[in-house]
Structure 1
Amino acid sequence: MQRRRFLGLTAAGAATAALAPALTACGSDGAGSGTTTLKLVAADYGDSPANSSQKYWDALAREFEEQNSGIKIDVSVYSWTEVDKKVADMVEEGKAPDMAQIGAYADFAAAGKLYSADQLLSIATQADMIASIAHAGEVHRVQYGMPFVSSSRLLFCNKTLFAKAGIAKAPESWDDLQAAAAKLKGIGVPMPFGLPLGPEEAPAETMLWMLSGGSGYTDSTGSYSIDSAENVKTFNWLRDDFVGKGLTGSGDPSRTNRQEVFDAFCKGDVGMLNGHPTLMRQADAKGIKYMMAPLPGIKGTAKSAMGVADWMMAFKQNGHREQIGKFLDFVYSTKNVLTFTGQYDLLPVTTSASEAMRKDAGREKLRQFLDQMDNAEFYPADKTSWAKVSKALKEKIGSTVKSGGDPASVLSEIQRDADGWGS
């Protein structure tokens, strides 16, 4: 989801904070006179230091601390390119944070390191979670991953460039997409279509194209289908009929990150790209005129939309269950959910906040994203192997669209690894 650029701390300061164990008071946590400090490691959804998520968490922590004198909140924010690894390293070193707001939870849950949601959240908070998203946080029918924010994806098109190229409407099929990109290339657009298959968020762009081609990461039984015939066909088409024809610009998609493409779109250098709600604010700030449309498929609009949820989880290592639960109930209050999602144009994961957003005339453009959530497919984040599969995708998927790339071989290799890592 989207977002995710600059460190909230300096690199040295952040590393020091991340590796420091949580501070605890002498004696019993909760009932004694001491103070419990909860350590939270969170991802950065900002695209500059000015709107770093560190500011949100610092303000939220101050407000919570004013209402809960015995609990302090220490938050370290990292970019999405490093936050998952930061947490994994901390856990491996025996210095798990109390909470982590990152991209995957299932491997920690399978290792018995996490509290379940019902051990932490009040009944009212649990009931307010949107069920379809909350279920994606389950491992063996027990919820360990608490969705923090969600988003869906739409095709963004630069209306000014479309008009110059004589393109009347947003593409609905691969043929439309290729034809539009060729016209944009013909008028000198540097990047007719932005294809970020670099390490920042390759799994999202990959899933979008898999859905576009009629498949996905898993089949109807929930088993991995990474090397399905449809997925191989999709990446062959991308290699030969899209990247190979120069329709993604002169750069290397395997080294191109999403924020680079977002930035280029906001400069008017990109004709089309797959984007999430945060891009609207960035484009509006730069005066870019754009339209949004559902994901194009092989013969028409893709049958499934893509939904993304990022996760909050709580580690058992430091034993602060009561204090963590109190803080998370505060985090998931309607007011705080709307404050965060409103800042980054993301979608709420609670029913109360979602309903409030739909009624907000100032958020009208978000309704197109909200409407897709009923038909959205999510990452297979409930699989304990997903974190490793995601890492493999970041490292390897970009090679499939290079000249001479071998999609069938790369997808089969990732499939074999995924099967070996288990469910």
Structure 2
Amino acid sequence: MHRTARLAPIAAIGIASALTLTACGSSGGADVAADKKQTLSVWAMGAEGEKLGDVAKAYNKANPNITIKVTPVGWDVAHQKLVAAAAAGTLPDVAQMGGSYMGEFADMGVLEPVDTKTFKQGDFFPAAWSQGVVDSTAYGVPWYVDTRVLYYRTDLAQKAGITKAPANWSEMQALATAYQKKAGTKWGLYIQPSSLDTVQSFYPFLYSAGGAIVDPSGKKAVFNSPATVKALKEYGSYVDKGLSTKSFRPGYDVIKDFGNGSVPMFFGGPWQTGLINDGQPQLKGKWAVAKIPGDTSSVSMAGGSSLVISKDSGHKAAAKEFISYLTDAKGQADWFQRSKDLPANTAAWKTGDLATDPSLKIYGEQMATAKTSPPLAKWTEITSKVDDAIGSVTQGKSSAEDAAKKAQSEIESLLG
């Protein structure tokens, strides 16, 4: 998904929401054979929900016995509606699900395990596959992926006397400094300084330093490691040195400031390429993307969405075939052309623009090493503690060591 949806408390969801959605679920009961006439209910979120309807029409035409009923759901209400439907036993046959939801819904016992004979782990980016795995069981088939790379103004870099992309932390801070001192930009790099979801901006620093929030098992907090402290110090140094803003602005649009040159460098996702091309046409030939400049290595965060099947669905066979259609190499290449969402299936990267566009190639290379968040039911609560730690460092309220120690204790209490 293009942004991380925060998880709403289940207790806050009203009975009315569940009743409203009752008619949307599948019939349950014995599974209907895939070649029988039937209707498959599908929920897709955000822009994907709007675009999937056209794919469904094409699928209906090729498979007249299957009617695909796509319901678009906004990301702002997606979690609430999914929880309400799960509680009422009315989940759709197929649903798009962000990685931050997976642990919670797997724990509810409402998702059908993935048929790993049909869907092969090796066909997808490792990080894309792992975000759908909970306690060694896969519940989601990767649909599309999302990661962050470095966007930077090449024209302003040349003005500052730098002709290549930064490859490590030292070079990135040197470029940020040169942008200000030699190219006259207001800032050197935009990173979110504090508030909700600051962790999204921090992940490239954390992972590239070899740090983590919890260990691979998801059962032990490791946020007070030397690598994490080092990442917090590096992140905070941009604010301390005046290279990045100290003030958080809700709804801030970095693309506008990238266009006017006040922010010449930022970490961004694939959808922002289109926003620059469409909204800042004067920048043509004046910007580029590069892999995340790293400390020990170049590692970015991995996001995206998976497709899940409801355990109560009475149309699992048809659902599996529709998901196969969406996630094989051909379907993924077609979906990229429609949505510009990056394919999770690695074979799709061998055709068309995905194989020839230099910028897209950077995303593919970055995804190969990207790390995904563990599918923990309390992950949003955990990352809120990380948000607080980052903010306390950038706002000068505590040292990196003290912030990491405090967050470590809070995360341990959440892990139980």
2:192 is aligned with 1:192: no
Partner AA of 1:112 in structure 2: G
Change (3 A) 1:85 1:243: farther
Change (3 A) 1:38 1:412: farther
Which whole-Å CA distance do the structure 2 matches of 1:356 and 1:18 have between them?
45
Shift of 1:116: 0.7
1:331 matched residue in structure 2: 326
Change (3 A) 1:182 1:60: same
| Residue from 168, 174, 177 that aligns with 2:169 | 174
1:40 matched residue in structure 2: 43
Question: Which range is displaced more, 206-215 or 391-400?
Answer: 391-400
Shift of 1:338: 1.3
Question: Which range is displaced more, 89-98 or 273-282?
Answer: 89-98
2:178 is aligned with 1:183: yes
2:223 matched residue in structure 1: 226
Shift of 1:142: 1.5
1:160 matched residue in structure 2: 155
Which whole-Å CA distance do the structure 2 matches of 1:127 and 1:103 have between them?
16
| Residue from 378, 386, 391 that aligns with 2:372 | 378
Q: Tell me the secondary structure at the aligned position of residue 82 of structure 2.
A: helix
Change (3 A) 1:24 1:40: same
1:12 matched residue in structure 2: none
1:108 matched residue in structure 2: 105
Identity %: 21
1:293 matched residue in structure 2: 290
Confirm or deny: 8 A CA contact 1:192 1:249 kept in the other structure.
no
2:241 matched residue in structure 1: 245
Confirm or deny: 8 A CA contact 2:26 2:90 kept in the other structure.
no
1:76 matched residue in structure 2: 72
Change (3 A) 1:131 1:149: closer
Confirm or deny: 8 A CA contact 1:181 1:193 kept in the other structure.
yes
Bigger RCO of structures 1 and 2 (CA < 8 A, at least 6 apart): 2
Confirm or deny: 8 A CA contact 2:194 2:394 kept in the other structure.
no
Which whole-Å CA distance do the structure 2 matches of 1:374 and 1:334 have between them?
17
Which whole-Å CA distance do the structure 2 matches of 1:204 and 1:26 have between them?
38
Partner AA of 2:43 in structure 1: L
Change (3 A) 1:185 1:391: same
Change (3 A) 1:348 1:33: closer
Q: Tell me the secondary structure at the aligned position of residue 71 of structure 2.
A: strand
Confirm or deny: 8 A CA contact 2:131 2:372 kept in the other structure.
yes
How many residues align? The count is 394
Q: Tell me the secondary structure at the aligned position of residue 351 of structure 2.
A: helix
| Residue from 202, 207, 216 that aligns with 1:211 | 207
Which whole-Å CA distance do the structure 2 matches of 1:92 and 1:401 have between them?
41
1:349 matched residue in structure 2: 344
Structure 2 residues not aligned, in runs of 5+: 6-15
Change (3 A) 1:39 1:18: farther
Which whole-Å CA distance do the structure 2 matches of 1:18 and 1:166 have between them?
62
Q: Tell me the secondary structure at the aligned position of residue 41 of structure 2.
A: strand
Measured against aligned partners, the alpha-carbon deviations of 1:290-332 in whole angstroms (never above 9, x if no partner) come to 133332234xx73534433432222224544233223212222
Confirm or deny: 8 A CA contact 1:196 1:261 kept in the other structure.
no
2:11 matched residue in structure 1: none
1:321 matched residue in structure 2: 316
Confirm or deny: 8 A CA contact 1:29 1:35 kept in the other structure.
no
